[in-house]
Chain A
Amino acid sequence: ELKVEQNPLFLSMQEGKNYTIYCNYSTTSDRLYWYRQDPGKSLESLFVLLSNGAVKQEGRLMASLDTKARLSTLHITAAVHDLSATYFCAVVRPIIIQGAQKLVFGQGTRLTINP
C-alpha cells in the first residue's frame, strides 16, 4: 500500500525567510504532483515532476524529486504572505483499469506566513 507522508504538517514563518516542505513516499512512482489549496477552495496544480533529479521553479517556489530516496521537496524562498495556503504532494499509482492512475495524497502542510 502506497503511503505518502509530508512534514511538517504545520508551518508558521515570517516573511522573507526560507523553508522546505518534505514529501516521502513508500513505493516506486513515475510521477509526483504538488498542489496548493486555499481555504474553502479547490486544488491548484503547481508542479508535476516526472523523473529523478527533476527540478521545477515558479516564482518563490521550487520543487525537486529524488526517486531513489522517494523524496520530493518544495522549497520556499523569501516567503511572502500571499503564499499562505495548504500544500499537498500527491504520488501517482496505477489503478485497476489499464492505463489509469490515481493520486495518493500526503496529509498536507498548512503554511502560514506572517507579515
Chain B
Amino acid sequence: GAGVSQSPSNKVTEKGKDVELRCDPISGHTALYWYRQRLGQGLEFLIYFQGNSAPDKSGLPSDRFSAERTGESVSTLTIQRTQQEDSAVYLCASSYLGGNLPYEQYFGPGTRLTVT
C-alpha cells in the first residue's frame, strides 16, 4: 500500500519567510511524528501526535515552530520567520498502535528545506 508521503520534496525560502511542510501518514496509522535531520547528523525528535490527544511538543526548538494535525490524517509543520539554522531535512513518520510491533515508525521521504 501507499507509504508516508511528504510535500514539497524540496523548498528554498528566504530568511524571514514562513514555510509549511505537509505529511500524509499511512492510512490507519494513528500516531504521527516529525523529526529534523541537519546535514550529516542524526534525527532530532520535534513533535508527536496520537489520535485526539494533546500533542507532545517537547522537541520543538523554538516558538517559531508549530504543527497541526486534523484527526488521524494530514499534518502540517509550520516554521515562521525562517532562519538559516532551520535548513535541514524534515522527516515525518507514522505508526500503528497495534499488531506485533506497535509504534514501529515508517518514515516518509522528507522535505529538504534550504533557507537562504
**CB-contacts of B63-107 with A (<8 A):** 91, 97, 101, 103-107
User: Which of these, B43, B56, B108, B110, contacts A103 with CB under 8 Å?
Assistant: B43
Chain B contacts of A105 at CB under 8 A?
42-44
Find chain A residues with CB under 8 A from B55 CB: 97
**B6 → chain A closest CB, angstroms:** 9
Contact yes or no, B50 A42, CB < 8 A: no
Contact B56–A43 (Cβ < 8 Å) = no
Residue A102 interfacial (CB < 8 Å): yes
Interface secondary structure of B, over-half rule:
loop
Cα of A97 to Cα of B76 in the assembled complex, Å: 20
**Other-chain residue from B40, B59, B91 in contact with A43 (beta carbon distance below 8 A):** B91
Chain A residues in 8 Å Cβ range of B54: 97
Q: Please report the C-alpha to C-alpha distance between residue A107 and residue B31 in the assembled complex, in whole angstroms.
A: 24
| Cβ A107 vs Cβ B42 within 8 A | yes
Please judge, given known A-B contacts A43-B107, A48-B104, whether A102 and B91 are in contact too, CB under 8 Å: no
A105 to B35, CA, bound (A): 10
- In the assembled complex, A13 has its CB within 8 A of some CB on chain B: no
Which parts of A59-115 form the interface with B (CB within 8 Å)?
A: 88, 90, 92, 95-97, 99-108
A residues neighboring B (CB under 8 Å):
4, 41-43, 45, 48, 88, 90, 92, 95-97, 99-108
Pairs A–B under 8 Å by Cβ, sample size 29: A42-B107, A42-B108, A45-B104, A45-B105, A45-B106, A48-B101, A48-B104, A88-B42, A90-B42, A90-B43, A95-B56, A95-B58, A96-B58, A97-B48, A97-B53, A97-B56, A99-B97, A100-B50, A101-B103, A102-B45, A102-B48, A103-B35, A103-B43, A103-B45, A103-B105, A105-B42, A105-B43, A108-B41, A108-B42
Given contacts A100-B31, A100-B56, A103-B33, 4 further A-B contacts (CB under 8 A): A41-B109, A45-B106, A97-B53, A102-B59
